[in-house]
């Protein structure tokens, strides 16, 4: 299949852009797939109420079909049409954070096919904060199922180029809307349990949710890598975000980390391996690997979140075999950063 690429500037949705969104919406209405930008990462969209579309999404990504999709809506009225009820907690969270990087799990009704929810009686729903995404949802009939627009297991795409790499020839259209704002996937909160529970940390932090809802917990399997418990979010059991090379996270004082990584990269180089380091602005000058990339200033967690997936992808392009990353503070958005980094490393951590 030939994949059509169109470019739309979020800040300038003119007549031509509107025609593009209409064409993309028609593709989705007719059961096809379109990759599009959101404020978190690029999504691979299909009609969430059409089981055949969901099957195509799983096939294009190579994603296991028990890993459910997130349904994207453009207004609150549409939310109430696909769930059993909209609890107070959901209204409060929507008031506070929608449109935005927060996904809520609610009880689904019969309109949502099991193909979209991976066989579950619950459905994940989000209203993205991006004018291209919102326009496309409206043009598509109101409900777009969209996981991240990458091949299953690879880092999520933060620019259209990475969607092209993974999905060209497999889907009808890719909308290039430039670089995304946030760079990590949405926070997922389950509202079907007695106490709301974070199933995936993200840009909306535990403290932000607590401020709106009072009590909120976090799925233990997210913060404790040695936990043998089955995670509540089905997708969490799969290897994720992984670069092609082997990645190790190194924890310790800055001096120890630099020394250790330099020693290990020297040894790997001696074996003919290509080496890489994920460092910070503060430390990057000290490393002697083949390729050293900074994810930003150590204290600027928004920038680190924004750069992480991009840097992991760039290491793939540069055919790096062995990579080391510094570790980051595990609070606030840091919780999401470390969650993604640990998964990318397959929980391979060296503590000094």
Q: Which residues bind ligand AMP (CB under 6 A)?
A: 67-70, 105, 117, 120, 122-124, 147-148, 185, 188, 199-200, 233-236
- Token reading at 126: 């989000």
Q: Closest distance between ligand AMP and the C-beta of residue 169, in Å?
A: 21
Interatomic CA distance for residues 265 and 149, integer angstroms: 32
Question: Among positive and negative, which fits the CA dihedral 321, 151, 160, 76?
Answer: negative
Residues comprising the chain, all counted:
352
State yes or no: residue 152 binds Mg ion (CB under 5 A).
no
State yes or no: residue 221 binds Mg ion (CB under 5 A).
no
In what side-by-side order are the strands of the sheet with 187-190? 4-7, 173-176, 34-36, 43-47, 144-145, 70-72, 122-126, 102-107, 187-190, 197-200, 217-218
Reply yes or no: is the peptide bond before residue 99 cis, omega within 30 of 0.
yes
- At a CB cut-off of 8 Å and minimum separation 6, what does 262 contact? 286, 287, 288, 289
Residue 261 binds what, of ligand AMP, Mg ion, none (CB under 5 to 8 Å, by partner type)? none
Q: Closest distance between ligand AMP and the C-beta of residue 301, in Å?
A: 20
Percent helix, percent strand, percent coil in the chain, to nearest 5: 35, 20, 45
Q: Which residue is nearest to ligand AMP (CB)?
A: 235
State yes or no: residue 325 binds Mg ion (CB under 5 A).
no
Q: Closest distance between ligand AMP and the C-beta of residue 69, in Å?
A: 6
Q: Closest distance between Mg ion and the C-beta of residue 16, in Å?
A: 31
Q: Closest distance between Mg ion and the C-beta of residue 244, in Å?
A: 17
In this chain, which of 148, 187, 205, 275 binds Mg ion, going by CB under 5 A? 148
Residue 265 binds what, of Mg ion, ligand AMP, none (CB under 5 to 8 Å, by partner type)? none
Residue 133 binds what, of ligand AMP, Mg ion, none (CB under 5 to 8 Å, by partner type)? none
Residue 233 binds what, of ligand AMP, Mg ion, none (CB under 5 to 8 Å, by partner type)? ligand AMP
Question: Among positive and negative, which fits the CA dihedral 299, 303, 307, 309?
Answer: positive
Instruction: Pick the closer one to ligand AMP by CB: 90 or 124.
Output: 124
- Token reading at 200: 């995936």
Residue numbers at the binding site for Mg ion (CB under 5 A): 148
């Amino acid at each position: 299949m030939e994949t059509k690429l169109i470019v739309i500037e979020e800040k300038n949705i003119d007549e031509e852009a509107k025609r593009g969104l209409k064409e993309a919406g028609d593709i989705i209405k007719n059961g096809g797939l379109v990759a599009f930008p959101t404020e978190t990462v690029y999504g691979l969209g299909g009609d969430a109420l059409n089981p055949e579309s969901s099957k195509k999404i799983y096939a294009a990504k190579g994603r296991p079909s028990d890993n459910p999709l997130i349904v994207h809506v453009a207004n609150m009225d549409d939310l109430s049409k696909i769930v059993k009820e909209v609890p107070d907690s959901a209204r409060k969270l929507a008031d506070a954070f929608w449109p935005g990087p927060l996904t809520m799990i609610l009880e689904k009704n019969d309109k949502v096919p099991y193909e979209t929810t991976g066989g579950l009686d619950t459905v994940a729903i989000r209203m993205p904060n991006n004018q291209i995404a919102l326009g496309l949802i409206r043009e598509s009939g109101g409900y777009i199922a969209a996981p991240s627009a990458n091949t299953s297991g690879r880092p999520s795409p933060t620019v259209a180029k990475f969607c092209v790499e993974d999905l060209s020839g497999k889907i009808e259209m890719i909308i290039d809307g430039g670089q995304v704002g946030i760079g990590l996937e949405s926070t997922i909160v389950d509202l079907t349990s007695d106490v709301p529970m974070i199933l995936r940390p993200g840009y909306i932090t535990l403290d932000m949710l607590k401020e709106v809802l009072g009590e909120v917990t976090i799925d233990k399997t997210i913060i404790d890598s040695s936990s043998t418990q089955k995670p509540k979010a089905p997708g969490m059991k799969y290897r994720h975000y992984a670069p092609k090379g082997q990645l190790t996270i190194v924890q310790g004082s800055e001096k120890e980390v630099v020394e250790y990584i330099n020693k290990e990269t020297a040894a790997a180089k001696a074996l003919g391996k290509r080496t890489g380091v994920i460092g910070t602005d503060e430390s990057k000058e000290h490393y002697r690997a083949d390729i050293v990339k900074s994810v930003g200033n150590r204290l600027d967690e928004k920038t680190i979140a924004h750069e992480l997936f991009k840097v992991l992808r760039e290491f793939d392009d540069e055919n790096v075999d062995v990579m080391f990353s510094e570790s980051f503070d595990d609070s606030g958005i840091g919780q999401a950063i470390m969650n993604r980094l640990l998964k990318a490393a397959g929980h391979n951590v060296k503590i000094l």
